[in-house]
Amino acid sequence: MYLQLAWRNIWRNPRRTIVIMTAVVIGVWAMIFLGALMRGVSAQMVKNGIATLTGHIQIHQRGFRNDPVIENSMHEPEMVEALLAEYLPSDARWSPRVRVDAIANNARHSGGLTLVGIDPEREAGVSFIGQAVVKGEYLDAGDEYGIIVGQALVDKFETKLGRKLVFMSQDTERDIASRAFRIRGVFRAEMEATEKQYAFITKGAAQKMLKLGAGISEISILLADYEDAESVADNLKEVIPPDSYEVETWRELLPLVTAVLKMYDWFIYIWYLVIFIAMGFGIVNTILMAVFERIREFGLFRALGMKPLWIVKEVLTESFFLLTLGMIIGSGLGLLSIHALADTGIDLSALSEGLEFVGMSRVIYPVIIIRDIVVANLVVLVLGIAVSAYPAIKAARFTPVEAMART
Amino acid sequence: MRSRVVMRLVSREGKVRYMRKRVALILSFIVACFFFFCGTLHAIDVEDLVRDAVNYYRGDASFSTVDMTIHRPGWERTLTIKAWTKGQKDSLFTIVAPPKDNGNGTLKRGKEMWMFNPKVNRVIKLPPSMMSQSWMGSDFSNNDLAKSDSIIEDYTHKITGTEIHDGKKVYVITSMPKPDAPVVWGMQKLKVREDLIFLSQEFYDEDLLLVKAMTGTEIQMLGGKLFPKIWKMQKTDKEEEYTVLDYGEIVFEESLPDDLFTISSLKNPRR
């Protein structure tokens, strides 16, 4: 009987119902859609961070992370590599690297960047560089003088494919190491900063240049699923001697990203609350109006013997219908608009310089997380009904005499 | 009697004729030798020519006082530098004027460089990141100093022409970097006079466009040998930016003690 009564009551004044329902629809849509965009931004940040030479797990010589100089590199990587081959899940891929800060020079320009010595074949499966070469070609394992640089660096140095760049750095004997490389390939990356930051040579060339022998700076591991990083890292920590090596997951390697992720979690909930507060006043107001309009009716109910609690239930059911209808339509619209943007994303190239500062991509793709949608709807429903309790209780408090007295 | 006199005269005439012939023969032989010699220079001795020219201007060891003028569109300043060099590898520079910069020094041994600043009383070894920066704000980079023997080691030379300057022959040498040499230039052009004096050194990028050039002028006797007194380093596209080195005094020595090129003498420069 409540259901029927409530349903009919909300359609007694269709215009008012539609107005308040629109408010709910827009609120829910905004929660879901903007929440998905935020999740999209953070997912891209994680993806960029992991693809830009982080991987899911990294192994370093102890001390390298605090002071990433060439002296702190891993001198005997064979031992670690043997352990990895034994203990990593079979679908994990890993790649050794030499990483050093260097100065690039040509006749007219010079600038600092990170020189990364890679095993071309292994690296292709681990980081972005395998798919990122747009001009020229990828490195061959035996290429002693080849280098791959980013498009932005090529523009900055006014150079091109086949031209020479001279790199200077400090070798293991603390002398100045310099070596000339020819540009074999040009890569493009999601972010311009990456294009300017990294230049890739073969591991062998880097080891020769820096007199590093067989030494490497790090091993980067990519797992099938990034959620497994912690458990795999824990397994590795047990077998790899902890006094000489550090095993870290991307959460530890990218502290900024991890912090931003945590912040975004709270951000989204605060965002939900803010939207709800705006919406909640509308709901209270509408229900209150509907209640005051029907004072005589409620008086009559009471006179006929309806308990106050039943009246509360009846009013709450009305608000439940309003909210549920709004939520269904709002969620539907939200999902539809996310779906519409799933392929194209939102292109923010115009703002890219500012965005890159915080590690965001040029294009944002919304990401749906079921939990967010559930939380959004629950917030609206629970808090919506909670705020409707005020008019409902007000309605239940009218005594028949009082009600009849009002005309 | 008479006939004797005539005889004598005839014989004297004959002797003169004979002498003339001999002089002509010797002269032509010298000329032939010269051309032959030049021919071999073209074919074989370019590398030696460059090396000898570098050795000539550096000497076995030298001490010099140089005024370095840095010219920029808005300002100009002159530093007086005392410089000691030994062989191709070791150098020590100390600034003596203006007083503000007095005591600032640079030591180069092999490919490494150290700088000393008396105001903070610190010696720093130049890290790779500073090697491509300019030396004391001039148009010379630290690399130009640190890798001064690069022209010998990292390039292959070829004589591509000759010119005549002040009545002396000048070789135009085109130097191309060896394929994997760690040098930024795409080409260098040297002009070396036949008496081993460098007249100019031009630096080209990989598109073979001129980037900067150093020229030596006012060749005169300095420290017992002919030497260009004025050296000017100029960037091509910037008329108003150049650095001039003006050698006031230069003394070529047979040798200088090794302990001159040490960090302690960088900190306590000789007066």
Residue-number span of the structural domain to which A321 is assigned = 2-49+257-405
Question: Does one domain contain both B36 and B66?
Answer: no
* B259 within domain boundaries: yes
Question: Does one domain contain both A111 and A168?
Answer: yes
User: What is the predicted pLDDT for the residue at A202?
Assistant: 93
Question: Does one domain contain both A105 and A228?
Answer: yes
Domain termination residue (choose one: A253, A285, A318): A253
User: What is the predicted pLDDT for the residue at A325?
Assistant: 93
Specify the DSSP class assigned to residue B119: T
Q: From CA A206, how far away is CA A216, in angstroms rounded?
A: 9
Residues of B in contact with A107 (CB under 8 A): 184-186, 203-206, 211
Question: Does one domain contain both B144 and B242?
Answer: yes
Q: State both tokens at B267.
A: 């900190």
pTM for this prediction: 0.73
Closest CB from A107, A145, A176 relative to B128: A176
Residues of B in contact with A143 (CB under 8 A): none
Q: State both tokens at B13.
A: 């005439």
Domain count, chain A: 2
Q: What are phi and psi of B34, to 5 degrees?
A: -60, -45
Place of tokens 């890798």: B147
Cross-chain residue pair B128–A105, CB shorter than 8 Å: no
Nearest residue of B to residue A103, measured between CA atoms: B129
User: What is the predicted pLDDT for the residue at A28?
Assistant: 92
pLDDT confidence band for B1 (50 / 70 / 90) = very low
Question: Does one domain contain both A44 and A77?
Answer: no
The set of residues, in sequence order, having a beta carbon less than 8 Å from that of A306 and lying 6+ positions away, is none
Q: What is the pLDDT of residues A152-178, one digit of tens each?
A: 999 999 888 988 898 988 888 888 888
Question: Does one domain contain both A149 and A82?
Answer: yes
Specify the DSSP class assigned to residue B99: G
Domain termination residue (choose one: A215, A238, A253): A253
Residues A343, A346, A352, A358, Cα dihedral to 10°: -90
Nearest residue of A to residue B129, measured between CA atoms: A103
To probe the interface with A, which of B89, B124, B129 has the most A CB atoms within 10 Å?
B129
* B125 within domain boundaries: yes
Inter-CA distances, A212 with A59, A98, A141, Å: 18, 9, 17
Please name the amino acid found at residue A281: F
Q: What is the pLDDT of residues B28-38, one digit of tens each?
A: 655 555 544 44
Place of tokens 């020094």: B105
To probe the interface with A, which of B206, B207, B209, B210 has the most A CB atoms within 10 Å?
B206
Question: Does one domain contain both B32 and B129?
Answer: no
**Could you report the predicted ipTM of this complex, rounded to two decimals?**
0.71
Cross-chain residue pair B128–A110, CB shorter than 8 Å: no
**Residue A41's closest CA among A365, A271, A344, A342?**
A365
Q: From CA A102, how far away is CA A10, in angstroms rounded?
A: 71
Place of tokens 């070529």: B252
User: What is the predicted pLDDT for the residue at B41?
Assistant: 47
* B2 within domain boundaries: no
Question: Does one domain contain both B155 and B86?
Answer: yes
Place of tokens 């014989």: B11
The answer to whether B223 touches B66, Cβ cutoff 8 Å, is: no
Question: Does one domain contain both A334 and A214?
Answer: no
Question: Does one domain contain both A241 and A195?
Answer: yes
Q: What is the pLDDT of residues B138-191, one digit of tens each?
A: 888 887 777 777 888 888 998 888 888 888 888 899 999 988 888 888 899 999
Question: Does one domain contain both B129 and B37?
Answer: no
Q: From CA A269, how far away is CA A156, in angstroms rounded?
A: 43
Residues of chain A under the 50 pLDDT cut: none
Specify the DSSP class assigned to residue A225: S
Compute the half-sphere exposure of residue A100: CA atoms within 13 Å on the CB side of its CA. 35
Place of tokens 């007694």: A12
Question: Does one domain contain both B255 and B141?
Answer: yes
CATH code, B101 = 2.50.20.10
Question: Does one domain contain both A43 and A60?
Answer: no
The answer to whether B190 touches B50, Cβ cutoff 8 Å, is: yes
Domain count, chain B: 2
Question: Does one domain contain both B160 and B126?
Answer: yes
The whole-angstrom distance between B251's CA and the closest CA on chain A is 32
Question: Does one domain contain both B152 and B32?
Answer: no
User: What is the predicted pLDDT for the residue at B8?
Assistant: 55
Question: Does one domain contain both A313 and A394?
Answer: yes
Domain termination residue (choose one: A227, A253, A279): A253
Residues of A in contact with B129 (CB under 8 A): 103, 112, 168
User: What is the predicted pLDDT for the residue at A45?
Assistant: 83
Question: Does one domain contain both A295 and A401?
Answer: yes
User: What is the predicted pLDDT for the residue at A49?
Assistant: 85
Residue-number span of the structural domain to which B29 is assigned = 7-44
The answer to whether A103 touches A112, Cβ cutoff 8 Å, is: yes
User: What is the predicted pLDDT for the residue at B16?
Assistant: 57
Question: Does one domain contain both A32 and A95?
Answer: no
pLDDT over 50 at B39, yes or no: no
* B118 within domain boundaries: yes
pLDDT confidence band for B266 (50 / 70 / 90) = confident
Residues A266, A268, A270, A272, Cα dihedral to 10°: -150
Cross-chain residue pair A169–B205, CB shorter than 8 Å: no
Question: Does one domain contain both B105 and B19?
Answer: no
Whether chain A has a CB inside 8 Å of the CB on B180: the answer is yes
Question: Does one domain contain both B71 and B30?
Answer: no
Question: Does one domain contain both A44 and A106?
Answer: no
- Mean pLDDT for B201-227 is 87
Question: Does one domain contain both A173 and A305?
Answer: no
Place of tokens 């790090």: A218
* B1 within domain boundaries: no
Residues of A in contact with B114 (CB under 8 A): none
* B187 within domain boundaries: yes
Specify the DSSP class assigned to residue A70: G
The whole-angstrom distance between B212's CA and the closest CA on chain A is 10
Residues B44, B50, B51, B56, Cα dihedral to 10°: 130
The answer to whether A384 touches A319, Cβ cutoff 8 Å, is: yes
Q: What is the pLDDT of residues B80-116, one digit of tens each?
A: 999 888 887 888 888 888 888 888 888 888 778 888 8
Q: Considering only CB atoms, which residues of chain A are within 8 Å of chain B? A: 102-103, 105-108, 110, 112, 144-145, 159, 163-164, 166-170, 175-180
Residues of A in contact with B186 (CB under 8 A): 107, 164
